[in-house]
Structure 1
Amino acid sequence: MHWLFGDQLGPHFLRPSQDIDLTGDAPLLMIEARSVFKRRRFHRAKAHLLLSAMRHRAAELGDRVTYVRATTYRDGLDQAARGRHVTVHHPTSYAALALVRSLPNVAVGPARGFLVPMQDFAAWAHRHGGRRLRQEDFYRWVRRGHDLLMDEDHPAGGRWNLDHDNRQPPPRDATTLAVDRPYRPREDEIDEEVRHDLDHWEKDGDVSFVGRDSPRLFPATRAEARTALRCFMDHRLPTFGPYEDAMLAEDQVMSHSLLSSSLNLGLLDPAECAERAEAEWRAGRAPLNSVEGYVRQVAGWREYVWQLYWHFGEEYRQHNELRHTAPLPDWWNDLDANSVGARCLQTILAQVRDTGWTHHIPRLMVLGSYALQRGWDPAAVTDWFHRCFVDGYDWVMVPNVIGMSQYADGGRMTTKPYTSGGAYINRMSDLCGPCVYQPRDRTGAHACPYTAGYWVFLDRHRSRFERNHRTARAVKGLDRLTDLDEVRRQERTRGDTPP
């Protein structure tokens, strides 16, 4: 019997290998464990998507799969396997891996759903010294190894990195990008059943969710995911690159693919996404900067984050080099966007509340930056991102938040903290114009919480960042601030109240 976890739902998880025999009609097992939702307060839309995807996959597999609804995975396995030998592909979290390794008669095979086998990455990391593993070096290695955007031994177009072409602010005076809206699936009777069950669990007090469960916005089946991929490639990929870092208040999705949840559920394979994007460029239907930017996200960053999660080890999540220990306030945990006055944070927090998703720049430069500036506990911030995003998994959020967003690893993953004053948000969005706060103001009634927070953050860690070549110049700017004492006092007074 072969066990499929809820993020192993695509056909590539059923291809036979020398480690796992899936030929013919080898019986399958899926376990829906309610304990997953009891342990944490997940976003309601995330719970809905996961259960919908699992139940849809079980319906597709028919009599071949034994689908068990149990209190825990262990209970479900006891109920279904009854001592039989069980195989499973390498799970995507340390907790799940520890669980399957602790179970009798369960054999763990290699991971699926990623481009690079773990042992290949380990060999590459060893060749590069093991500690500082640059994403750019890894990305080029992956492109060569998988012949992605390559012209023989050279990068297509002559350059590996087209980031410089992909940092444009949104078009002036535009409220939305002039592109087709993304594919949205239609709910069916399985979604109706899922919503009924979640309502019942909440009513019984069995579980508690955060956020809203609007009609399902993301694919729950392989067919839906392939349709979403095709729609992105046909209509949105050409404008993805230039505006991938831009934000508009009325356009949450911009030209983003919205395929991260499909990839992380295993409904899509990263190779088919990257190869399809390259085919669009080769056919002259999408510019190279957009295609390279997308390939970088899928074959570069996503793959890099997955590998670092396992390479750095289980203790990596506990890193807290900046010694940030402040708890997350209730308004943040409850996604209470209505209590927030700062328009950028209010807008993005509302997007998370309503959909469980926002793209990478709001995550990093609005949500993550605010948490970093306030000195919130990075482990709690990581857990919040894991719970509140439909594409959030342990392997996704630990490196992204601990390493990049909160700089809690002290620079193992990035060379500087990713935070800024309000000027960056103002340049890359239309969020600041109508806001009660002004990006240039550090003090006073209109002081931008990001601008004030940025300077207080640098001041708090002056001794560390004045020695970093990427932040030393910014730290020197503290000496030119004649109102620094007032900025400090103002931020202490703000405390954890919504800005």
Structure 2
Amino acid sequence: MAARTHWLFGDQLGPRFTDPRHGGCDRGAPLLMIEARSVLRRRRFHRAKAHLVLSAMRHRAAELGDRVRYVRADTYRQGLRTALRSGDRLTVHAPTSRAALDFVTSLDGVDVLEPRGFLTSRADFATWAEGRGAQGLRMEDFYRWVRTSQGLLMDDGGPAGGTWNLDHDNREPPPRDHDRLPVPRPWQAKEDAIDEEVRHDLDRWERKGLVSFAGRDGPRRFPATRRQALAALRHFVDHRLPAFGSYEDAMLARDGVLAHSLLSSSLNLGLLDPAECVGRAELAWRSGNAPLNSAEGYIRQVAGWREFVWQLYWHFGPAYRDRNALGHHEPLPRWFLDLDADAVRARCLSTTLAQVRDTGWTHHIPRLMVLGSRALQDGWDPAAVTDWFHRCFVDGYDWVMLPNVLGMSQYADDGAMTSKPYTTGGAYIHRMSDLCDGCAYRPSDRTGDRACPYTTGYWAFLHRHRERFAHHPRMARTLHTLDRLDDLADVLAAAARRGAAPP
């Protein structure tokens, strides 16, 4: 029997997706890749994201040579009609979005294989989730289960070092005497002829009005090949992981990357496998080249949060994306949609928005506590906020952003994913960054000309949802403080006056 053609999606670019072992594709299967322009028309993606995905796909096709047929088409259906003859059968590993999975399962002659690129299976997660009962689904419990079942950072049946969670060591503010963290800079990509071709095509499509992008074009910053991704992983583990843990929540105006790995896009494109990432981090600790808090912090991000988000995306079902527990319906303002950092006076938001505009990336704390917090405080529609994150980040995919943004950031699922809303006043940003230095606003002021929009917005948000959180166990103390504010009327008036204007 002839081997079935195996279809590779644009986030299935590593060797695991062509490995015939353990339920993979047929041995020696011819390969198919489809570059569908309709994907770029569907949303106004960040230019850097469009470039990275197309560059990675075309680089992979070049590596595979004659084994792959690379079809450039308007849609996936058109690409399939071009590539296949009547009666041909296809295999494909399950795509990472619900829409794409529905599409491939609707096609005749397509055999959908188990998904790859994750540490845990959906069946194993379902078994774990069924046993949670009243405890609910919390990442910390899931993370410990993954560590135990995978043998990650474990000694004698317990957590290495005697504790599961080293978050208390990983919340240091940035060093006050540095405007950059004193670590080697991240691995840097070098563009080639394929990148030049991609840039030419994107420019041409945009000139013709076929597509429209957000953000700025610039040198590709992230790996587009397996070889580059492995080099970036080695560089991170050898030179940056030791400093990662302590400062993983810190922010610096002139150093948006600090000691972060910048490997999320490589993982989400399938260029790296999570097992090799966490394995190398653990080995660095065991060999004495990285402290335990750094190794644990990175492993928590990959084996904890990334896996948890992937599983919740499927577990919560298709109706999850329509959740809007707080009743937020305000449209995203134009300055935010256009990444217009120059229109913003608040230094934390302007700096973060500029980094997204210029690179298509910023780390998890600016995403959550600057961008997401602004949206939550101002009552922006959570579906629109989720779509914005999906479009504007190089590592953004439906499965990534739906639980992370709609659930954790915007609390639209009423606590199904996380135990409380993640928003604060300016004091948190001031403590964890240098972003308040030289700002037009004061983090301690909630009224007046220099009132911090995050501080004003925080109290206005709590007042707006006072009844919902009145009996919330983690919000009682905060609401008690709200009740003691003698200038609450002025705070609410200030928030109303600003409206949707850039802060």
1:104 partnered with 2:105: no
Report what 1:134 is aligned to.
138
Aligned-pair CA distance for 1:127 = 1.5
Name the residue aligned to 1:65.
68
For residue 304 of structure 1, the aligned residue among 278, 302, 308 is 308
Q: Is the 8 A contact 2:368 2:422 kept in 1?
A: yes
Query: What letter is aligned with 1:234?
Result: D
Q: Which residue of 2 aligns with 1:329?
A: 333
Q: C-alpha distance in 2, partners of 1:76/1:90?
A: 18
State the alpha-carbon separation in 2 of the partners of residues 196 and 228 from structure 1: 26
Q: Are the aligned partners of 2:17 and 2:24 in contact in 1 as well (CA < 8 Å)?
A: no
Aligned equivalent of 2:84, options 64, 81, 84: 81
Alpha-carbon distance in structure 1 between the residues aligned to 2:474 and 2:225 = 44
1:18, distance to aligned residue in structure 2 (A): 5.4
Instruction: Tell me the CA shift for residue 321 of structure 1.
Output: 0.3
Greater alpha carbon shift after TM alignment, 280-289 vs 78-87: 78-87
Judge conservation of contact 1:466–1:476 (CA < 8 Å) in 2: no
- Say if 1:186 and 1:396 are closer, same or farther in 2 by CA, change over 3 A: same
Measure the CA separation in 2 of the matches of 1:127 and 1:14.
35
Which residue number in structure 1 is paired with residue 413 of structure 2?
409
Per the alignment, do residues 309 and 130 of structure 1 end up closer, same or farther by CA in structure 2, a change over 3 Å counting? farther
- 2:225 is equivalent to residue 260 of structure 1: no
Q: 1:35 to 1:130 in 2, by over 3 A?
A: farther
**Structure 2 CA distance for partners of 1:77 and 1:418, relative to 1, 3 Å:** same
Matches within 5 A, 1:33-182: 33-83=36-86, 84-129=88-133, 132-182=136-186
Distance 2:177 2:153 in 1: 35
Aligned-partner SS, 1:236: helix
Q: 1:356 aligned to 2:360?
A: yes
- Per the alignment, residue 15 of structure 2 pairs with 11
Amino acid at match of 1:195: R
- 1:477-488 to 2 correspondences below 5 Å: 477-488=481-492
1:200 aligned residue: 204
Distance across 1 between alignment mates of 2:442 and 2:108: 61
After superposition, give the CA deviation of every residue in 1:90-114 in whole Å (9 maximum; x if it has no partner): 1000110011011111111100000
Where structure 1 has 5 or more consecutive residues not aligned to the other structure, the ranges are none
Structure 1 Cα separation of the partners of residues 426 and 85 of structure 2: 59
Q: Please give the alpha-carbon distance, in whole angstroms, between the structure 2 residues aligned to 1:285 and 1:65.
A: 41
What is aligned with 1:446? 450
Q: What is the identity, as a one-letter code, of the residue corresponding to 1:63?
A: D
What SS does structure 2 have at the residue aligned with 1:183?
Answer: coil
Q: Does 1:491 align with 2:495?
A: yes
Alpha-carbon deviation of 1:126?
1.0
Correspondent of 1:455 among 440, 456, 459: 459
Greater shift in the superposed pair: 480-489 or 366-375? 480-489
User: 1:256 and 1:87 mapped to 2: Cα distance?
Assistant: 36
State the one-letter code of the partner of 1:344: C
Counterpart of 1:28 in structure 2 is 31
Contact kept, 8 Å, 2:6 with 2:90, in 1: the verdict is yes
Is contact 2:36-2:76 (8 Å) kept? yes
Secondary structure (helix, strand or coil) at the match of 1:68 reads strand
- Structure 2 gaps of 5+ residues are none
1:466 equivalent in structure 2: 470
Q: Return the TM-score normalized by structure 2.
A: 0.98
Q: 1:67 and 1:447 mapped to 2: Cα distance?
A: 55
Distance 2:154 2:331 in 1: 47
What RMSD, in angstroms, separates the aligned Cα atoms of the two structures?
0.9
Q: CA deviation at 1:82?
A: 2.1
Kept in 1, the 8 Å contact 2:426–2:454? The answer is yes
Task: Give deviations 1:411-459, integer Å, cap 9, x for gaps.
Answer: 0111100000000000000000100100011111101000000000000
Quickly say closer, same or farther: Cα 1:152–1:484, change in 2 above 3 A. same
- Structure 1 range deviating more: 11-20 or 263-272: 11-20
Measured after TM superposition, the shift of residue 369 of structure 1 is: 0.3
Say if 2:218 is the partner of 1:214.
yes
How many matched pairs?
498
- The normalised TM-score by structure 1 is 0.99
Which segments of structure 1 move beyond 2 Å, counting only runs of 4 or more? 17-22
Residues 131-182 of structure 1, C-alpha deviation per residue, up to 9 Å, x if partnerless?
8211111111111111110012111000000000000000112100000000
Q: Please point out which of 289, 312, 323 is paired with 1:319.
A: 323
Q: Is the 8 A contact 1:443 1:487 kept in 2?
A: yes
Give the conservation status (yes or no) of the 8 Å contact 1:131–1:412.
no
* Per-residue deviation, 1:472: 1.1
Alignment of 1:287 onto 2:291: yes
Q: CA 1:75 to 1:410, structure 2 compared with 1: closer, same or farther past 3 Å?
A: same
Partner of 2:248: 244
Query: Residues 428, 326 of structure 1: CA spacing in aligned structure 2 closer, same or farther, 3 A cutoff?
Result: same
Q: CA deviation at 1:129?
A: 2.7
Three-state SS of the structure 2 residue aligned to 1:371 is helix
* Greater shift in the superposed pair: 124-133 or 271-280: 124-133
For the residue of structure 2 that corresponds to 1:133, the secondary structure is coil
State the Cα deviation string for residues 24-69 of structure 1 (Å, max 9, x = none).
Answer: x310000000000111000000000000000000000000000000
Whole-angstrom distance in 1 between the partners of 2:294 and 2:319: 36
Whole-Å separation in 2 of the counterparts to 1:185 and 1:130: 48
Contact 1:352 1:358 (8 Å CA) reproduced: yes
3-state SS in 2 of match to 1:169:
coil
1:190 maps to 2:223: no
